[in-house]
Amino acid sequence: MRSDILTEDERAERLQPLLDNGWAMSGDRDQIEKQFTFTNFRIAFGWMTVTGMEAEKMNHHPDWTNVWNRVNVKLTTFNKGGLTDLDVRLAKRMDKLAEQFSG
């Protein structure tokens, strides 16, 4: 799997669907971020557990915090110094899992 920093063309193509789905570029570094909100803590924690296992399989781990029903996520590939395909794939997986836990 490719893990180089995304080119400008790749960013335009691959990040836009994520930005349209609530992700945002972080102002302080080359990363994307999103706040996921769930019905309650149990569902938020369940989502984090399943998402954490998916991230572990990818060997790509989010920077995240949880307060009650909210999970704030930041994704970047630290050892590459910015956004890579790993971040895009994990963000898409997080979105898909959030749909399953919300509906």
pLDDT digits (tens), the chain, 103 positions: 456 999 999 999 999 999 999 999 998 889 999 999 999 999 999 999 999 999 999 999 999 999 999 999 999 999 899 999 999 999 999 999 999 998 6
Is 63 a member of any domain?
yes
Is 51 a member of any domain?
yes
The pLDDT assigned to 14 comes to 95
Is 12 a member of any domain?
yes
Strand segments, DSSP code E, in 10-103 are: 24-25, 32-37, 63-67, 70-75
Is 3 a member of any domain?
no
Is 25 a member of any domain?
yes
Instruction: Give me 9's structure tokens.
Output: 């063309």
Is 46 a member of any domain?
yes
Q: Report the domain count for the chain.
A: 1
CB 66 within 8 A of CB 98: no
| Calculated CA dihedral for residues 52, 34, 91, 61, nearest 10 degrees | -40
At residue 32, the 3 state secondary structure works out as strand
CATH code of the domain containing 68: 3.30.1360.20
Is 56 a member of any domain?
yes
